Structure 1
Amino acid sequence: MSISPDATVPGIGASEPNAPSVDWDGITLMLYGSIDAPQGPRSALSVLLLQCIGADYRTVDVGADAAARSVAVQRSGVTTFPQLYIDGEYIGGGEVIGELMRSGFLARRAEAVDLPAVDVPAADVPAVDVA
């Protein structure tokens, strides 16, 4: 799925006073909580995996920002979190982030947007079941 970072969401525009101020450039992780205190196992795992590849990313606490949560749901068509975006494109949720890292996809995409990443051999990444 490819969504333009400039895509507009019906009912929410930049001129509206309550429009969310989400920076869609680079890597954005929409989650409940924060980098230091992710809420839930999928959010915690997503933060850990992004840190493992050395990605420079930002987080948006969708529990504290209902407008950002609404925009993310409309962009992705998915109502669960966390949600990972790279340059505004929805990449996946908590259940696929680990697989994307093991396959090398996240590291390649992080490099493609000029963000630092380190190679982590697939054998060094434990399979984690967060179901």
Structure 2
Amino acid sequence: MILFEEKMKHYSVVVALIGISTLLIFLLTPLQSYSLGFFIGLTFGFINLWTIYYKTKIVGRAANVKNKSAFSFIWAGSGFVVRTAIALCAVWLAIAYPAYIHLLSVITGFSLIYIILLIDMIIQFIRKR
């Protein structure tokens, strides 16, 4: 569990650095709708990752407890619904405000979290080899 917490801190730092540079692009260039869309996608993608992390902690605690609560399993099992709702909310923002938020940038920012995870797994695989 400690390793997973360290990974989450590492991902938080990486996302914060990318988010800060995206906000700088928003402030300093005329690509405002693209950078705002990317930032919103990145933020919602990170919230998605955080929900996965939090639900993993709940299931891990529930597995170690003898008196298992049904609520913890229901809450952890609702992860797919919550993550889908978060993704739909990000897309809805882009569709509702197309002049300010670029839809393709939202999707790109949202998927960047999974690219970061993939790169981290490849780096870990190469280090173990």
Higher alpha-carbon Rg? 2
TM-score of the pair, normalised by structure 2: 0.25
Highest RCO, 1 vs 2 (Cα 8 Å, sep ≥ 6): 2
Instruction: Name the structure where strand makes up a greater proportion of residues.
Output: 1
